[in-house]
Structure 1
Amino acid sequence: MFSWILAIVGYFIYRFPGAIVGFIVGGLIDNMGGKGSARKTIFQQRSGDRVSPADFELNLLSLASLVIKADGNVSQSELDYVRQYFVQSYGKDRANATFKVFNEVIKKREISAANIGGLLRQRMRYESRLQVLHFLFSIANADGHVTEAEVSEINRIGGFLGVNFRDFESIKAMFFKNPDSAYKILEIERTATDVEVKKAYREMAKKYHPDKLQHMDEVHQKGAEEKFRKVQEAYEQLQKERGF
C-alpha cells in the first residue's frame, strides 16, 4: 500500500528516481510488521554487512539488468529467473511489485556498475560479493547459454566488486564444461601435483563452505551450496582421472 502511494508521490516530485526511492521506502514501511521469511533480508545488520535491504535489492536488480541486456537480447527466461529469486526471497506479492519497478523504471535509467560495485565493495564481505557474482552468472545461464558478452559484463562488474581474477575464473568455470573446468574451479593449473590438488580442494572447500553465508537469505544460501557442490565434483573428477 505505502509502496505505491510513495512511489506516485516521488514520481511527481523527482520523476523516475523519486518513484524508485518512494517505492523502496514504502516497501520498508509495509514490511515493518512482517514475520518469517519476509523479514529475512539478504543483508541483516547483525551479519556485519552494512548495506540496507532496500539499497541491496535496488543495486542487485540494477546489476542484473546490466547482465540481462549485455548481449543485446532481453531473454524472458533470464527475467523469469530474477522474478523467481524475489518470489522465493520475499513472497509473491512483494516480488510482483518489485519486478514491476524493475521492468518500468530500473531498466530505463542510467546504471553505473562502477558506483554500485564500489558501494558494495566497501560494505559487503568478500564471500557475499562472490555470491553476487555467482548469482549474475546464474542469470546469464538461465536461457541455457552464457554468451561472451555476458561473461565480459560480469567480469567488469566483478572488477568493481573487488573480486580477484582467480575467483572470477573459478566461478565462471562452474558454468562451462571443458577439459580444464575442474582445474579452474579449484584455481590450479593442469600441471599441479596430486598433493597440490588435495591442498587446493581443502582451501576451496573452506572458501565456499555454505556456513560462510549463513547471514544471507535462503536463495543465496542455496547458491552457496551449489558452489560448494561444484568444488566437490571438480575434486572427485580429478580423483578419478588421476587415480588417487
Structure 2
Amino acid sequence: MFKLIGALLGYYFFGIFGAFAGYFIGSIVGRVIAYGVGGVNPLSSHHRQTVFLETVFILMGKLAKVDGHISKDEIAHVEQFIQKLGMSAEHRQRVIMLFKQGAAPDFDYEPNIRQFMAVCGHTHSLKQMLLVYLIVMAVSDGSIDFAEERLLVDIARHLGYDQQAFKHMLDMVLNQAHFAGGQTTSATNLDDAYKALGVSKESSDQEVKRAYRKLMSQYHPDKLMGQGVPEDMIAVATEQAQEVQVAYDLITKSRKQ
C-alpha cells in the first residue's frame, strides 16, 4: 500500500522519475511501520532458527539409525548436546520427538532438507554448521561407517556441496575433534593440526593464518546468531572454535622453533 501511495504522489509532483523514487521511499516507510526502524521482519530470524533446530535433530535421528541401530554412545551424544543447549523440559521433549521422527524406519528426510534450503539455504554459515553438527554426531561412537558417510555425502549434496568439498570439510572437522578440551595427546598432533585448518606443512604462514581466520569467522558467535543459528547452539560452535584455536597455536609454536 505504501509503495503505491509513494508512487502516485511522486508521479503527481515530479512525473515518471518521481514515481520510481516514491515507490522506493514507500517501500522503506512500509517496512519501518511494520517492523521498526531496522526494516527487518522479527519473525524471519525466529523462523530460520526454528527450521535450523528442527533440521539438526531430525537429521541426527536419521544419521543415528542409518546403520540399523542407535548406539549408546549416540544416545549419550544427543543427551549431552541437549544439555549444552540448556533446554527446558518442554523443548527437550520436542527435540527428542524430532530425533525419533528422523530415526523412524524409511523416514524421508528430503522434504526437511528442501524446507531448510528454502529458509536457510542462502546463508553459507547455516549450511556449514548443519554439516559440522552432523559430522560430530556421526563420529560420536568412535568412527564413521559406510552407511553414515554415504548419508552425509547425500545430505551435503542437497546442501550444495560436491563430494570433494564435503570430504575436505569432513577431514577438517574430524581433525579439529582431536583438539577437544584443549588437549594434544599424540605424536601426530602437528599433522592433525594442519588438517584441522585445511592446510599443509607446505602452506605459507600467510595461508595458514588465512585459513585460521576463515574458520574462526565461521564459528564466531555474533555472525552465527545474526545468520540464524539459535542462541542456545552457540556454545557448541564455540567449542569448535576452541579446537581450531588449539590447532593453530600448535602450528605457530612449531614454526617458531
TM over 0.5: yes
Query: SS at the partner of 2:177?
Result: coil
Matched, 1:230 2:243: yes
- 2:216–2:241: 8 Å Cα contact kept in structure 1? yes
Quote how far apart the aligned CAs of 1:90 are: 3.5
- 1:118–1:161: 8 Å Cα contact kept in structure 2? no
- 1:169–1:184: 8 Å Cα contact kept in structure 2? yes
Match runs of 1:138-153 below 5 Å:
138-143=136-141, 145-149=142-146, 150-153=148-151
The answer for the alignment partner of 2:207 in structure 1 is 196
Larger-Rg structure: 2
The answer for the alignment partner of 2:68 in structure 1 is 72
Cα separation, 2, equivalents of 1:112 and 1:176: 33
The answer for the alignment partner of 1:10 in structure 2 is none
Matched, 1:221 2:217: no
Letter in 1 for 2:144: T
Quote how far apart the aligned CAs of 1:91 are: 0.8
Quote how far apart the aligned CAs of 1:238 are: 0.8
Letter in 1 for 2:57: L
Letter in 2 for 1:155: V
Query: SS at the partner of 1:216?
Result: coil
The answer for the alignment partner of 1:173 in structure 2 is 175
Alignment CA distance shift 1:101-1:206 (3 Å): closer
Quote how far apart the aligned CAs of 1:100 are: 4.6
Alignment CA distance shift 1:61-1:101 (3 Å): closer
Unpaired runs of at least 5, structure 2? 1-41, 180-187
Cα separation, 2, equivalents of 1:64 and 1:176: 21
The answer for the alignment partner of 2:28 in structure 1 is none
Match runs of 1:198-213 below 5 Å:
198-213=209-224
- 2:63–2:103: 8 Å Cα contact kept in structure 1? no
Quote how far apart the aligned CAs of 1:217 are: 2.6
The answer for the alignment partner of 2:133 in structure 1 is 135
Quote how far apart the aligned CAs of 1:160 are: 1.9
Alignment CA distance shift 1:100-1:111 (3 Å): closer
Quote how far apart the aligned CAs of 1:137 are: 2.5
Quote how far apart the aligned CAs of 1:234 are: 1.4
Cα separation, 2, equivalents of 1:95 and 1:162: 30
Match of residue 186, structure 1, among 197, 217, 220: 197
Q: What is the root-mean-square deviation of aligned Cα atoms in Å?
A: 3.0
Match of residue 96, structure 1, among 87, 93, 103: 93
Cα separation, 2, equivalents of 1:89 and 1:121: 27
The answer for the alignment partner of 2:157 in structure 1 is 159
- So what's the TM-score if we normalise by structure 2? 0.63
Cα separation, 1, equivalents of 2:91 and 2:47: 23
Q: Size of the alignment, in residue pairs?
A: 197
- 2:218–2:224: 8 Å Cα contact kept in structure 1? no
Cα separation, 1, equivalents of 2:214 and 2:103: 39
- So what's the TM-score if we normalise by structure 1? 0.66
Alignment CA distance shift 1:219-1:173 (3 Å): farther
The answer for the alignment partner of 1:243 in structure 2 is 256
Cα separation, 1, equivalents of 2:250 and 2:154: 30
- 1:83–1:95: 8 Å Cα contact kept in structure 2? no
Cα separation, 2, equivalents of 1:112 and 1:191: 44
Alignment CA distance shift 1:85-1:72 (3 Å): same
Letter in 1 for 2:200: E
Cα separation, 2, equivalents of 1:235 and 1:58: 33
Cα separation, 2, equivalents of 1:101 and 1:194: 44
Letter in 2 for 1:184: K
- 2:64–2:138: 8 Å Cα contact kept in structure 1? yes
